[in-house]
Amino acid sequence: MKALGIFEDVELGLKNMHLAKFFSYHMESYKELTCEFLASMRYHMYEEEDRADLDQGLGWITFLAKGEKRMVTFRQLEILFGFNYGEGTKWNFKEKELQRVWATIADGVYSSSRSKAAQIRSPVLRYVHKALANTFFARKATGTINEGELKFLDMGIKPFSHAQAMARGSGEIDLTQGT
């Protein structure tokens, strides 16, 4: 990214998505532990009345690590990875909103089954999309862009009211201007 001159812009976009800390980690992969974790992981939700008292998020996960049963609350995961936490983190996007975001960053009409990541004009946003698709959305093929990915990209550009004009004018969004 540094060689391409887009590092700072990518970093700023991720900060706006509240994902910069998560993407800054250099995590190694451990195949056996990962398989054990995925095979044993279970999701549990707190009862509504317990959640307010415990302040531990919506629930917790249990899993095995080296044969030992472990438990981690969602609140602990949110803090560990630097995510915004709380129950007000749901998206309420309407179709019109998705079309507005797509028109800001790409050409044509948005369709989750037909819109291609290559249509995104900004190399910064194309890079961020690929990172999101490969990690959060666990997709190997990142040719199309789904609604969740588009919503994240909207978070990345929202603070910049001039983004639409810049995207249409120069073909690139300079996320560092105006900050």
The pLDDT tens digits of the residues spanning 30-42 come to 788 888 988 999 9
Domain that holds residue 112: 7-19+92-170
96 lies in the same domain as 149 = yes
178 lies in some domain: no
45 lies in some domain: yes
Which residues, including other chains, have CB under 8 Å from residue 127's CB and lie 6 or more apart? 1, 6, 10
pLDDT at 70 over 90: yes
67 lies in the same domain as 99 = no
SS3 percent helix, strand, coil of the chain, rounded to 5, is 50, 10, 40
**Contact by Cβ (8 Å): 23, 12:** no
Q: What is the average per-residue pLDDT within 88-117?
A: 83
- Count of domains in the chain? 2
Domain stops at, among 60, 81, 102 = 81
177 lies in some domain: no
The predicted pLDDT at position 79 comes to 82
Average pLDDT of every residue of the chain: 79
The predicted pLDDT at position 156 comes to 84
74 lies in the same domain as 110 = no
15 lies in some domain: yes
pLDDT at 9 over 60: yes
CA atoms within 13 A on the CB side of 170: 9
What predicted TM-score, i.e. pTM, was given to this entire model? 0.60
Which residues, including other chains, have CB under 8 Å from residue 167's CB and lie 6 or more apart? 104, 105, 121, 122, 173
58 lies in the same domain as 101 = no
86 lies in some domain: no
**Contact by Cβ (8 Å): 16, 159:** yes
66 lies in some domain: yes
98 lies in the same domain as 155 = yes
15 lies in the same domain as 48 = no
126 lies in some domain: yes
